Structure 1
Amino acid sequence: MRSRRPLIAALTTAALATGALGALLGLGSTAEAAATPSTGGVKIAYYDQWSVYGNAFYPKQLDTRGIAGKLDVINYSFGNIHPTDLTCFEANKAAGDDNNASAGDGAGDSYADYQKSFSAADSVDGTADKWDQPIVGVFNQFKELKAKYPKLKINISIGGWSYSKYFSDAAKSDASRKKLVASCIKQYIQGDLPVDGGYGGVGAAAGIFDGIDIDWEYPASAGGHLGNHTDPADKQNFTLLLAEFRKQLDAYGTAHGGKKYLLTAALPAGQDKIKNIETDKIGAYLDYANIMTYDMHGAWDADGPTYHQSPLNSGASDPTDVIAPGTEKYSISNAIDAWLDGDSTYGIAGGFPANKLTLGYEFYYRGWKGVPAGTANGLAQSATGASAARPLSAQAGIAYYKELGGIVDNPATTFWDDAAKASYFYKDGEFFTGLNQKSIQARADYAHNRGLAGAMMYSLLGLDANTTLFNQIVTAV
C-alpha cells in the first residue's frame, strides 16, 4: 500500500480546538485511553512543512478559514532522523528526487521551520516578524495560533515517506532508542534549536509542541521508500521505541509542571504491513493511532485497473489482486478488523483499543487517464497512465479538490459504488478516486459503529478556499 509521502517530492519547493483532549492532560506514567471528545470524535490534521512555498498556505489561514477552532490536534510534518547520528536534527537541505534511495538523507527545512519571516498581512496575530526574535517561521506562527486557540494541540510528526529510512537503525538497541528519543524531546519539546540564520538557541521553541507523532513507513516492510533500512526485528523494536517515547515524554512532563504530552502514530492499513506491528501491545503507549486508510490503489499501476484509493469494503467489482498469503484485499473495513480483532491468516494479533484509533481521510484524489467508460463509468478499467499533473498538486496521478472543478461533485461526473461505499469521478477518459460528502458520511458512520476515536486528515494543504471536505468531515465525525 502506498503512503501519502510521494506527494512531498513534487510539492517541496524549498532550497493529518474544542477541548476534546482534556482527558489527556492529567498526570500518569503510562498513556491512558483517550476519552471521547466532547463535540464528536477527535479531529486531527496534518499541516505540511512545504505548505509555505508554492501554494502559500500559511498558518494564518488555519485561523481565517475557521480550521484551527475545529481541530483538536495539528501534526506538523515532517521531522527527519540524522543518517549517522540517528537523532532528530534541523537542516536546510532539500530532499532529493524520490526515485533516489538516499532522497531524504540529511534533508530538512529549518528555513520554513524557524527562519522564514512573515509579514503583518501573512501573520496569525497581524504583526510582522522582527529580525531580533528568537525564532520566526512556521514554529512562531504556531505559537501565535496557540495563543488564539489555547486548547489546540500541536505535535511534531517524525518520518513520513522519504524520512523513514533510518527508523530501523535508531530503534535497534536500547541505547539507540534512548538517544533518538532524548534528541527529539530536546529539540522539539524543550525547544533547543541550533542557531541558524540568526535564529534558534536554547529554549527558542519551548512550549510550541505538545507531543510527538511517529510516522514510520514501515517497520520490517519492503513496502516503504526504496532506500529504507528494514529488519525483521523492527516489529518488536517499534513497540520498544514507542515505549521509550512514552517513558521520556512522561518524565519530561512530570519534571515540567505535570503536563501530559501526546504520543501518536500514523499506521498502515494494509494487512501485509499491519502484520509487522505488535497491534496488541502498542496501544499501551499511544494516545492515538491514526490509520492511513487511503492510497490503497493509484496510478503507480499505470495501466490500471482503476479502483478506489480508499474503499470502505472490498466489493464484488474489486479487480485488484488479493494480498498473499490470504484471500483478502485492501479495504478500510479489512484494515480495522485486523487492528481491532486480529487476522490469523496474516499473523495479526489485533487487540488495539478502538477508542484510540482514528480513520484517515485524504484531501486529494488519485487519477488515471486513457480510461474507457466500460459499463460502470470508468471503474475497474484499463488505463494508459497517470492523470495529467495539475498546477498546484504538481504531480501526475494526483489532484486536489480545488483543481477538479466540474468533475468532483458534478452530478454528471460523480458516481457511487454501493458495494465499496466509495465515490468516484469520471470525465473525458480521466478517472479519479477520492472523497465527497457521501463517502465521508459512510466512513464516519462506520467509525461510529465500530466505536472509533475520530478522524485524521491528510493534509490541510489540499483544501479549497471554502474548506469543503474539511467541513464535511468535521460535521460527520
Structure 2
Amino acid sequence: MRSFRPRRLTALVALTTLLVIAAPPTAVNAAGKPGRSTGYHRVGYFTQWGIYGRAFPVKKLDTSGAASRLTHVNYAFGNVSEDGRCYVDGGPGEGDAWADYQRPVPAQESVDGVADAWGEPLNGNFGQLAKLKAKHPGLQVMISLGGWSWSTYFSNAARTDASRRAFVASCIDLYLKGNLPVLDGGSGGPGAAAGVFDGIDLDWEWPNWPGEPGNVIRPEDRENFTKLLAEFRRQLDAYGRQTRQHHPLTAFLPANPATMDAGYEGRKIFKYLDFATVQGYDFHGTWETVTNQQSALRVPKGAPDDPDFSVEVAVDGWIARGAPRHKLVLGIPYYGQGWTGVTGGGNGLFQPAAGPAPATHAAGYEDYKQLKNLAGNGFTVHRDLRAGHAWLFDGTTFWTYDDPAVVLQKTLYIRRAGLGGAMIWSLDGDDDNATLTRTIGLGLTTW
C-alpha cells in the first residue's frame, strides 16, 4: 500500500490555498473576516456495523493514526422507540447490542491488545471506545441518535414537555450514566458504560420534512426541535454539575435550504448547541439518471439543475438563517456515488446513465479506499478546480468522490470562511493509513 506523503500534501496546500483565495466572494467570505486560528473540531463518525464487512474495528482508529487527529468520535447510531425513549434492542432492524457491548473482542482487534472474556460488563465497540479514550485522553466520544434509518419516532419524543423530559432522561441514563440492559451471558448492568460517552449528537433526519418512508412528521416539529435541544442542554448541564464536566450537545443539519426552513428555527437552535455538523454530500446520487457531483464546494458551471446544491449553498444558507459561522462544522464524505452505462462521451459529467455502478457493499456507493485504486487502472481522474470536486470516468462508469486534493481544498475553505471544523462520514471509508483524516489534520493544523 502506498504510504502517506506529507511533501505531496505540502504542494497541494500551496495549490489549493491559491484556489480558495481566488474564489469569488460569497455570503460566507464577503465579510472579510479571517478564519479561526485555533480550536477546529475534527469529528468522525464510527459506524456500529463497520466491524463486519468493512472489517473496521475501533483499533484501526489508533493504528491508522486517525484517533490522534480527531477531537470527537460520533458513534452511529442510537435508536429512538415509538414511545419516545433511547433504547438498545437486539431485535431485527432495531439494533445490534452484540456489536455495541456484548461481543468479546479478540486480542488482535483490541486497542490495548487484551482480549475480552465472555460476559464482561463492557465488551464490544463500547469497551474498545473506552480503551481508545484511555490512550487518547483528549478525544471525546458522542452517541449519535437517529440517522437515516432510526429517525422514525423523533417527532413523538419531541412532541410535549413531558415526552421531551422523559426522552432526554432516558438517553442520559442509558449512554452517559451507562446503565445498559443486562444481556445473555451478563454483559451490561448499572454503570457498565459510564464514562464511555461524553455527550449527545442529534441526527434527526428531518424535522417536518420527509426522510425515510414511514417517519412520523408533524408541522410542529420545527418548534419542538428547538425545545428538545433546550431540554437536552438543561439536563446535560444538570448532570455536568454532578460529574464536573461539560457534556457537549451537537446536531447534524441538512444541506437543502427548503429543509432548513421547514424544520429549524435558524438562530434559536444554536443557543443550545456546542456546534452543528452540516451535510456536505449526497447533493446528487444514483436516485437520479444523470451523472453529477455529490459534494462540490461550489455549483459547477453547466450544472443542469437551477437552483442546485453545493457546500457553499449549504453553508451560506445556514449563515443567512442566523447560524454563527464558528459553530458550523462541514461534513466531508469518505465515499463516492457512482453510475454505469454512461453515454454522451466527454468526461462523463452531466451525462445520461443506465443505473448505479457495481460496488463492494451496495450498488452506486463505494468507499474512498476502493475508489483510490481505480485511478490509473482504466479510470481517469477529472477535476473542476474552480467548483472544488473530482470524479473518475472510464468511458462507461462514473464516480464522484473526494480525494486528498479535494479534502485539502475544503479544509482551506473552512479556514477562510471561519467555520468550526470538519466532520467525516464515515471513518471506515478511509484507507489503513487514514490518508483522508491525515489530510484534514494537516489542513486544519494551526500554524
Q: Normalising by the residue count of structure 2, what TM-score does the alignment of the two structures yield?
A: 0.88
1:92 to 90, 99, 103: 90
2:229 is the counterpart of 1:259: no
1:358 to 311, 314, 329: 329
Asked whether the 8 Å contact 2:297–2:311 carries over to 1, the reply is yes
Q: After TM superposition, list the pairs within 5 Å mapping 1:48-447 onto structure 2.
A: 48-83=47-82, 85-95=83-93, 107-197=94-184, 198-222=186-210, 224-256=211-243, 258-275=244-261, 276-301=263-288, 303-304=289-290, 306-320=291-305, 322=306, 328-341=307-320, 350-372=321-343, 374-375=345-346, 377-390=347-360, 394-408=361-375, 413-447=380-414
Partner residue of 2:12? none
Asked whether the 8 Å contact 1:401–1:408 carries over to 2, the reply is no
User: How many angstroms apart in 2 are the aligned matches of 1:330 and 1:241?
Assistant: 28
Counterparts in 2 of 1:166 and 1:253: CA distance versus 1, 3 Å? same
Shift of 1:419: 4.1
Larger RCO (CA under 8 A, 6+ residues apart): 2
Structure 2 unaligned blocks of 5 or more: 1-34
Asked whether the 8 Å contact 1:373–1:429 carries over to 2, the reply is no
Range moving further from structure 2, 459-468 or 183-192: 459-468
User: How many angstroms apart in 2 are the aligned matches of 1:262 and 1:41?
Assistant: 15
User: How many angstroms apart in 1 are the aligned matches of 2:405 and 2:104?
Assistant: 41
Asked whether the 8 Å contact 1:86–1:170 carries over to 2, the reply is yes
Shift of 1:448: 1.5
User: How many angstroms apart in 2 are the aligned matches of 1:409 and 1:192?
Assistant: 51
User: How many angstroms apart in 1 are the aligned matches of 2:344 and 2:439?
Assistant: 29
Counterparts in 2 of 1:227 and 1:111: CA distance versus 1, 3 Å? same
User: How many angstroms apart in 1 are the aligned matches of 2:227 and 2:171?
Assistant: 16
Counterparts in 2 of 1:152 and 1:429: CA distance versus 1, 3 Å? same
Counterparts in 2 of 1:357 and 1:81: CA distance versus 1, 3 Å? same
User: How many angstroms apart in 1 are the aligned matches of 2:405 and 2:381?
Assistant: 11
Q: After TM superposition, list the pairs within 5 Å mapping 1:20-59 onto structure 2.
A: 38=38, 41-59=40-58
CA root-mean-square deviation: 1.7
CA-to-partner distance for each residue in 1:10-39, whole Å, 9 max, x for gaps?
Answer: xxxxxxxxxxxxxxxxxxxxxxxxx9684x
How many residue pairs align between the two structures? 408
Counterparts in 2 of 1:210 and 1:37: CA distance versus 1, 3 Å? farther
Asked whether the 8 Å contact 1:51–1:58 carries over to 2, the reply is yes
Q: How much identity, in percent, do the aligned residues show?
A: 44
1:196 partner SS: coil
2:348 partner SS: coil
Asked whether the 8 Å contact 2:378–2:394 carries over to 1, the reply is no
Asked whether the 8 Å contact 2:342–2:348 carries over to 1, the reply is yes
User: How many angstroms apart in 2 are the aligned matches of 1:41 and 1:468?
Assistant: 19
User: How many angstroms apart in 1 are the aligned matches of 2:219 and 2:386?
Assistant: 36
Shift of 1:369: 0.3
Q: Which has the higher helix share?
A: 2
CA-to-partner distance for each residue in 1:247-299, whole Å, 9 max, x for gaps?
Answer: 1000001022x210010111101112111211111111111100011001000
Structure 1 unaligned blocks of 5 or more: 1-34, 96-106, 323-327, 342-349
Asked whether the 8 Å contact 1:366–1:398 carries over to 2, the reply is yes
User: How many angstroms apart in 2 are the aligned matches of 1:283 and 1:408?
Assistant: 41
Shift of 1:314: 1.4
Shift of 1:173: 0.6
Asked whether the 8 Å contact 2:404–2:435 carries over to 1, the reply is no
Counterparts in 2 of 1:251 and 1:465: CA distance versus 1, 3 Å? same
Shift of 1:409: 7.4
Q: Normalising by the residue count of structure 1, what TM-score does the alignment of the two structures yield?
A: 0.83
Asked whether the 8 Å contact 1:362–1:459 carries over to 2, the reply is yes
User: How many angstroms apart in 1 are the aligned matches of 2:326 and 2:169?
Assistant: 29
